[in-house]
Chain A
Amino acid sequence: MNELLRRLLFLPPQASTLAADVDGLHYFVIITTMLGATAVGVAGLYFSLKYRRRRRPLIAHVPQGPTPSGAKLEIAIVVGLFSLFVLWWVIGFRQYLALRIAPEDAIPVYVTAKQWMWKFAYPDGGHSVATLYVPVGRPVKVILTSRDVVHSFYVPAFRVKQDAVPGRYTTAWFEVKQPGAYPIFCAEYCGNSHSTMRGEVVALSPEDWARWVNASFPEVRRPRAPVNIEPGSVDLFDPREPTSMAREGARLAGEHGCLRCHSVDGTPYIGPTWAGLWNARVPLADGTEITADVAYLTESIAEPARRQHKGFALVMPSYAGRIPPGDVSAILEYIRSLSRAPATPPAPEPVAPIDFRPPASPAEEPRP
């Protein structure tokens, strides 16, 4: 029955754990809608036939206006409809909360939307473009942001959608039931190539997932699924060999003056060292702690005063509007490439007084 209605209504497969419940409410609501509209239309047509104007004299002196029985019927219908609407709202709201609030043990994946592609960063260090790899049978929480304009992460098969807004983080979650590939669409108009800003969620069986996380195979093992899968580009990141984006980031870090205050090898300096900073737990000036993730690092570039790293003086200027987004991404890639470097500084040496002069030439900058 579910399958019949699903196909009749052109709904995608119910690939996530919540999809079937959402569809159940869908059937209830839409069937009532269709029946209601048909009933009204039929009633109207029935009356128009039964009370059509005939050649005998026009009705006069017939009491008009609301009759007691008519008024009762109206009240009954209105109360009935209202109760139905409230019932739908209650069920819908509970489902909405379930869709929005991720389980505690959900695996986080950082999603950056940018014109016009989806970039995914996994907590253990991997990243991919356009294809999101997730394990079957485990909840996955996507943490979304945008680099430029508002986008929206939409996977019809999961009945899940969430806007990716620049300047803040939003979340969504899902748990996939079967291995397979499920299309991702951008659902908020974002410019020229909005309709080709697509991707795929590739759900891997537990064994394939384990292999992928450990990256023992440079290639992804294609999951056995009836769908024709052509995954997007997969960069399995090898920390020993930074990608060209990270090398570009190193150059830009010098150009924009970051390296005047931030070291890359753990040496304490004016600002926090970038070695091992990526996704590290960082103490803040107000006593709390935060993970130095993409969000925090981006914010610190734009507004360093907002959540200041404990133990450092506030001398960093704001770079808001002064570094193009592409450069910021590259610098972040560079910082990430330093994540496997040791976080502890080298053996202590007599520390010279801090030299505020900028490096004389790029050749003096430390190499990764």
Chain B
Amino acid sequence: MTDAPTPAVTSDAGEEPIPVEPDYLHAERGVLSWLLTKDHKRIAIMYYAAIVLSLILGGIFALVIRLELLTPERTIIDATTYNRMFTLHGVTMVWLFLLPGIPSIFGNFILPIQLGARDLAFPRLNLMSWYLFVIGACLLLGGMIAGGADTGWTFYVPYSSLTPTAVTPIGIGIFILGFSSITTAVNFVATTHLLRTRGLGWFQMPLFVWALYATSLIILLATPVLGLVLILVAVDHSLHFGIFDPKYGGDPVLFQHLFWFYSHPAVYIMILPAMGIISETVSTFSRRRPFSYNAIAYASLGIAFIGFLTWGHHMFVAGMSEWTAGVFGILSMFVGIFSAIKVFTWTGTLHRGSIRFTTPMVFFFSWLFLFVFGGMTGIAIATQSLDVHWHDTYFIVAHFHYIMVGGALTAFLGGAHYWFPKMFGRLYNERVGLASATGVFLGFVLTFTPQFLLGNAGMPRRYYSYPPEFQWLNVLSTGGAVLLAGALLLTLINLLVALKWGERAGANPWGSRSYEWQTPSPPPTHNFPTSPTFSRGPYDYDLTEEEARERIA
């Protein structure tokens, strides 16, 4: 701890503090200083690189799929390869991008700063999380190079036990990725409980922290069951123990219960952090306190809890009893209510605000429409008689892509732009940002809206060849995919260019009241020169500039 007095805060007007410490990017040099770092911000950057690469890999698989589906029969690859493509697309996107994406990058970087802490509770464990991620990713890649799996990302038995593909290394890779997730969740929970700085009560924390906290609870309780399921799949595949094999008295439907018990909460792991980013951006760019802070905080916990009780809605036609199915159906409706409360709150936050239409806000509006539409189609699917028709068709594919791409990826990109100045001290090109965000929205809609109609028409998912009357909708969808890929590429280029050549950013280019904006951009290694006291909330836009500044000591 230094004795020299240092300026504790920066102002909203952009006065630069006289830096005493170098920022975290320049504090130490050399590859080892990164690979052995304990700084949560550097670990977040390393995750950033790995996860963006994973997103690109998953996107390549997606483009191959869409290109193949341009014609009803073979276009560029055969059926065997196609089956591996959609499996690897799902595995990569789910476990290498959607699940770790926002928590491991933005959670790692921003959460401690938003709590006024100097790091996470367990920095070395955090570094281990990153290495586990890399090891898991390498195993997955190894499995892909060895031919990949062709089971779909859901690994249904008995097929996953019988197929001669690389199920076991991929399963082990995912298991290790699960461990990476769990250790990150342990870190977030401990930090939130124990490292909140002076003055910061639970109901004063930024909502992004609430989102990550609820996400971490789900990770801790659901991921171990995935671990168990993967062990069983690997054991059935490689050792033929026959736990789910009817030849040995096993029940394939039991596998589905265990798998979805994890995989349904998993989708809330993917979407809750995205909702956290939405809370932050809408408040900052409307200069408004959230319409109801408590509603969002409690609804996050509500989603986490109820999300564990709805897994059976993936199995309405799997062979469950009608009454079990009914219970899962009504519980699935409840989850939608929590999301509806949040959507109302975010829309209400715009009311009487002072809204600046920036790139993160384009992502916000895009998100608002796509998440509501996607979420309500989720309620539609939970309506059991309709799901009998829609299950395992492109309607389901469209629904979850609306939520995952229209929801999770859009929020990810919004967060990437929103926190870009904070993380790198630079500003990206706003015009290109607006254009790329609009392009992503349009490309997305063109890709996935035809898929709802394909599902209605009866086209099942995971289909290599399809009846010719489905072709023109598939062509539209592929066109959209190319547009989406282009817009995403433009986004990436815009941000990469800005890394090196972007205009330098001040501590608080958006004029936000949230805590992470009260330190320099990029932050010094220890985030705050001295442990701050937060005597005001993160969304106190009704205070004057001086008051706001004073209350961060």
Is A–B contact present in the complex under a CB 8 A cutoff? yes
Q: Measuring CB to CB, which residues of chain A are less than 8 angstroms from any residue of chain B?
A: 9-12, 22, 25-26, 29-30, 32-34, 36-38, 40-41, 43-45, 47-48, 51-54, 58-66, 70-71, 74, 77-78, 81-82, 85-86, 88-89, 91-101, 148-150, 152, 154, 156-157, 159-163, 165-168, 170, 183, 185-196, 302-303, 320-321
A-B contact pairs, 7 of them (CB 8 A): A10-B473, A47-B355, A51-B351, A52-B355, A59-B287, A152-B391, A303-B249
Minimum Cβ distance to chain B for residue A13 (Å): 11
Looking at the complex, which of B118-126, B181-189, B332-340 is the stretch in contact with chain A?
B332-340
Contact, CB under 8 Å: B322 / A70: no
Contact, CB under 8 Å: A41 / B391: no
Please give me the residue from chain B that is nearest to A11 by CB atom.
Answer: B456
Minimum Cβ distance to chain A for residue B81 (Å): 11
Looking at the complex, which of B39-47, B136-144, B154-162, B264-272 is the stretch in contact with chain A?
B154-162
Contact, CB under 8 Å: A53 / B355: yes
Contact, CB under 8 Å: A77 / B458: no
Q: Is B252 interfacial (CB-CB < 8 Å)?
A: yes
Looking at the complex, which of B105-113, B342-350, B418-426 is the stretch in contact with chain A?
B342-350
With A59-B287, A161-B388: A48-B465 Cβ-Cβ less than 8 Å: no
Contact, CB under 8 Å: A22 / B542: no
Q: How far is the CA of A210 from the CA of B150 in the complex (A)?
A: 44
Q: How far is the CA of A187 from the CA of B317 in the complex (A)?
A: 11
With A48-B365, A53-B355, A78-B344: A150-B289 Cβ-Cβ less than 8 Å: no
Minimum Cβ distance to chain B for residue A115 (Å): 9
Residues of B within 8 A of A53 (CB): 287, 354-356
Contact, CB under 8 Å: A167 / B386: no
A36 contacts which of B372, B454, B460 (Cβ < 8 Å)?
A: B372
With A29-B380, A96-B385: A66-B460 Cβ-Cβ less than 8 Å: no
Please give me the residue from chain A that is nearest to B151 by CB atom.
Answer: A189
Contact, CB under 8 Å: A44 / B287: no
Contact, CB under 8 Å: A43 / B347: yes
Q: How far is the CA of A176 from the CA of B157 in the complex (A)?
A: 33
Please give me the residue from chain A that is nearest to B547 by CB atom.
Answer: A60
Which A-B residue pairs are the 3 nearest by beta carbons?
A167-B246, A156-B458, A95-B385
With A100-B322, A150-B159, A163-B317: A62-B352 Cβ-Cβ less than 8 Å: yes
Residues of A within 8 A of B318 (CB): 163, 165
Contact, CB under 8 Å: A152 / B158: no
Please give me the residue from chain A that is nearest to B80 by CB atom.
Answer: A192
> What string of 1s and 0s marks CB contacts (under 8 Å) between B364-390 and chain A?
010011001100110110111110110
Interface size, chain B (Cβ < 8 Å):
95
Q: How far is the CA of A9 from the CA of B452 in the complex (A)?
A: 9
Q: Is B223 interfacial (CB-CB < 8 Å)?
A: no
Contact, CB under 8 Å: A152 / B392: yes
Q: With a 10 A CB-CB cut-off, give which of A26, A58, A95, A187 has the most chain B CB atoms.
A: A187
Residues of A within 8 A of B382 (CB): 89
Q: How far is the CA of A100 from the CA of B319 in the complex (A)?
A: 10
With A51-B350, A71-B292, A82-B337: A33-B376 Cβ-Cβ less than 8 Å: yes
Residues of A within 8 A of B292 (CB): 65-66, 71, 74
Q: Is B316 interfacial (CB-CB < 8 Å)?
A: yes
Please give me the residue from chain B that is nearest to A12 by CB atom.
Answer: B458
Q: Is B536 interfacial (CB-CB < 8 Å)?
A: no
Contact, CB under 8 Å: B322 / A97: yes
Residues of B within 8 A of A190 (CB): 159
A-B contact count (CB 8 A): 277
With A170-B319, A195-B79: A187-B393 Cβ-Cβ less than 8 Å: yes
> What string of 1s and 0s marks CB contacts (under 8 Å) between B254-294 and chain A?
00000000000000000000000000000000111111110
Contact, CB under 8 Å: B162 / A148: yes
Q: Is B203 interfacial (CB-CB < 8 Å)?
A: no
Contact, CB under 8 Å: A85 / B350: no
Residues of A within 8 A of B454 (CB): 10
Q: Measuring CB to CB, which residues of chain B are less than 8 angstroms from any residue of chain A?
A: 79-80, 83, 150-152, 156-159, 162-163, 246-253, 286-293, 295, 316-319, 322, 325-326, 329-330, 333, 336-337, 340-341, 343-345, 347-348, 350-357, 361, 365, 368-369, 372-373, 376-377, 379-380, 382-386, 388-389, 391-393, 453-454, 456-458, 460-467, 473, 539, 541-544
Contact, CB under 8 Å: B463 / A64: no
Q: How far is the CA of A275 from the CA of B377 in the complex (A)?
A: 55
A149-B158, A152-B392, A188-B156 given; 12 more Cβ-contact pairs under 8 Å = A40-B369, A44-B347, A53-B287, A78-B337, A82-B337, A92-B385, A93-B385, A96-B329, A159-B389, A160-B389, A192-B150, A195-B464
Residues of B within 8 A of A38 (CB): 369
Contact, CB under 8 Å: B337 / A81: yes
With A92-B385, A101-B322, A193-B79: A188-B392 Cβ-Cβ less than 8 Å: yes
Q: How far is the CA of A91 from the CA of B83 in the complex (A)?
A: 37
B460 contacts which of A61, A81, A185 (Cβ < 8 Å)?
A: A185
Please give me the residue from chain B that is nearest to A79 by CB atom.
Answer: B337
Q: How far is the CA of A161 from the CA of B322 in the complex (A)?
A: 14
Contact, CB under 8 Å: A192 / B83: yes
Residues of B within 8 A of A58 (CB): 287, 354
Contact, CB under 8 Å: A37 / B457: no
Contact, CB under 8 Å: A77 / B344: yes
Q: How far is the CA of A98 from the CA of B384 in the complex (A)?
A: 11
Q: How far is the CA of A363 from the CA of B158 in the complex (A)?
A: 39
Contact, CB under 8 Å: B389 / A85: no
B380 contacts which of A30, A77, A78, A162 (Cβ < 8 Å)?
A: A30
With A44-B347, A95-B384: A191-B456 Cβ-Cβ less than 8 Å: no
Residues of B within 8 A of A88 (CB): 333, 379-380, 383
Minimum Cβ distance to chain B for residue A97 (Å): 6
Q: How far is the CA of A167 from the CA of B252 in the complex (A)?
A: 9
Contact, CB under 8 Å: B159 / A195: no
Q: How far is the CA of A161 from the CA of B317 in the complex (A)?
A: 7
Contact, CB under 8 Å: B354 / A51: yes
A156 contacts which of B287, B329, B345, B457 (Cβ < 8 Å)?
A: B457
Contact, CB under 8 Å: A320 / B248: yes
Q: How far is the CA of A289 from the CA of B333 in the complex (A)?
A: 43
With A161-B392, A168-B246, A183-B467: A25-B453 Cβ-Cβ less than 8 Å: no
Contact, CB under 8 Å: A65 / B291: yes
Q: How far is the CA of A60 from the CA of B542 in the complex (A)?
A: 5
Minimum Cβ distance to chain B for residue A185 (Å): 5
Residues of A within 8 A of B295 (CB): 74
With A22-B386, A85-B333: A162-B453 Cβ-Cβ less than 8 Å: no
Contact, CB under 8 Å: A148 / B319: no
Residues of A within 8 A of B348 (CB): 66, 70, 74
Please give me the residue from chain A that is nearest to B246 by CB atom.
Answer: A167
Q: How far is the CA of A124 from the CA of B164 in the complex (A)?
A: 40
